[in-house]
Structure formats: C-alpha cells, structure tokens
Amino acid sequence: MKKDFKFSIGDKAFDIMSYTIAILFTLICLYPLYLVVINSFSDPLAVASGEVYIIPKGFSLDAYKEAFKNGDIMLGYANSLFYTILGTLLNMVLTIPAAYALSKSKLKGRNFMMLMIVFTMYFSGGLVPTYILTRGMGLLNTRTVVLVMGAVNASNLIVARTFFASSIPKELEEAAEIDGCSIPQTFFQIVLPLSKAMLGVILLYYAVARWNNFASSLYYQPMSEELHSLQMVIKRILLQIRTNQTLENELADYYASLFEQIKYSVIVIASLPLMILYPFLQKYFDKGVMMGSVKG
C-alpha cells in the first residue's frame, strides 16, 4: 500500500515535469513571433528604445504604411505570388503523375528510374556547374529560372509514391481497368480523389518552399532586381541596414525609429500568407510526416 502511494507521487512529479518542459519549449517557440507582431504596431519610439516586451505600447500603423509605400517590397510581393502559384503548380504537375507511374510495377525500368532520382539526393554537380548550365540555356536573369529550379523534390516524390503504392486499394484500380478506364481516367477520377490528404501535404511543402525561397533569385537573377522574390528584396533592404548601426545609437527621432520598426512590419507582411493558411493546413502536418516516415 505504502509502495503504491510512493509510486503515484513519482508519477505526478513525472507528469508535472513533462508538461513543464513541453509548455516551456512551446513558449520559447511562440514568444519571438509574438514579439515581432506586437512590435510591428506599437508606437515607433517605444519600439526603437526596446520597451515593448509583453504588451503592445501605444498604437501606430505607420510602419505598415511605410512598408506598403515601398515599391520594391510591393514588387517583390507580386513576384513571390507569381513564383509561388505558378511554381507550385509546376511542382505538382511534374511530381504527382511521375510518383503515380513509379508506384506501378507495370512500369518497366522503374527501379532504375528511382535510383536515378534518389541518387541526386546524395550527390550533385554543385552550384557552379548548375549556374553555367542555366547561363548556357539563356535562363539567367529570367523569371523562368526561378520556376524551373527545384521543380521536383525527391523526398516529396517519394512520399507521394509511397502513398500511391500503399494507400490506394489495388482492387479499385483493377476494377476500373476492367471497366475500360484508361490510365489517365483511373488516375484523375479514382486515384486523385482518394489522395486529397497527401496532395494537401505535398502542396503545402512545395508552396512554403516556393514562398520562402530567396537563393534562386540570389544565384540566378543577379542583374535583374525587378524580378526578385519578396524574400530576396527583404534580404537586400533589411540586412544591409545592419551596417548603419552606429547611426541608430544617436538620439532616435521619430523617422529613424520608424525605419527600425519597418523591419517588424515587413516580417509580418512576408509571413502573412503562411499565417493565414496555417490553421487550415495544420491538420495535414501529422498525416504528412506519417506518410513520409518510410524507412530506407
């Protein structure tokens, strides 16, 4: 009896520990994001002097207004929307049918094809040969180069292929074949409607990668700033400001403060599409990783 009692106290302590650790880490994840948001619409002077920690101080949307007035940011926003929408579409069109075909044992040579795809995950020509290739193709400083880079992601393809191979009942496809459905008919009318969760996950992965991409602009559009994605514009504008830090040490007047606060508002603006989509997509996260957790 006594032993039992002791055990349950240990159990309680254990529970408290687990919850404390989990909640503490969650707060660590959340707090910087919260800090950005409250700083973005507080009074610029309070922001610049670093007084905004816990609750917003004052209220001002000037930093947002300034950010929206900036032509580069708006152009980058439009470019990023273009790259994300068209790029993700290209990702899906290339990845999903290929993954379906590769899940079929009827496809002769599929082991070789898979090997060819998987090998690129472990070895690549590297940045310079890829750069020379794009230059040779006349793709440098074009919109196309951003769309075409990363058009297929091997891990996403593997997730989709595994899903098709394991989660679509074979009998269903065989029945469709007997009924005279062609392969595209089976694929579009039977297989895809059964794969919505997987399609959601892959779409999410691709769209996030597209939206967050700045390296393609950095490497392959060095001469055309008007084509740069939003992330690249932010890199250009915000990360250069750091060198002027000595200036900020002097008494900050309203505009100098505002200039500083714009960084916060730009972060919010740049993350807005994801923040809006986040609640809708979060139910797919776990499913997605379950699908992705294939061994070997």
Residue pair 258/63 in contact by the 8 Å Cβ criterion: yes
Given the complex with another protein, which of 24 and 78 has the nearer CB atom? 24
Give the orientation angle of helix 230-241 with respect to helix 71-102, to 10 degrees.
Answer: 130
Binding mask 111-140 for another protein (x = CB under 8 A): --x--xx--x-xxxxxxxxxxxx-x-----
Candidate ranges 59-67, 81-89, 149-157, 164-172; the one touching another protein (CB under 8 A): 149-157
Record the tokens describing residue 144, joined without a space. 């196309």
The reply to whether 292 sits near another protein by the rule CB under 8 A is yes
The reply to whether 23 sits near another protein by the rule CB under 8 A is yes
The reply to whether 214 sits near another protein by the rule CB under 8 A is yes
Smallest gap from Cβ 71 to another protein, in A, equals 19
Candidate ranges 58-66, 167-175, 194-202, 232-240; the one touching another protein (CB under 8 A): 232-240
Smallest gap from Cβ 242 to another protein, in A, equals 6
Residue 55's nearest CA partner among 34, 71, 73, 69 is 34
Q: Please tell me the distance from the alpha carbon of residue 20 to that of residue 37, in angstroms, as a whole number.
A: 25
Residue 131's nearest CA partner among 149, 119, 152, 143 is 149
3-state secondary structure of 43: coil
Smallest gap from Cβ 176 to another protein, in A, equals 13
Residue 82's nearest CA partner among 142, 152, 156, 157 is 142
By CB under 8 A, what part of segment 181-200 binds another protein? Answer: 182-184, 187
By CB under 8 A, what part of segment 234-273 binds another protein? Answer: 234-235, 238-239, 242-243, 245, 248-249, 263-264, 266-267, 270-271
Residue 212's nearest CA partner among 83, 91, 126 is 83
Smallest gap from Cβ 227 to another protein, in A, equals 17
Given the complex with another protein, which of 40 and 60 has the nearer CB atom? 40
| Angle ∠(116,212,265) on CA atoms, nearest 5 | 175
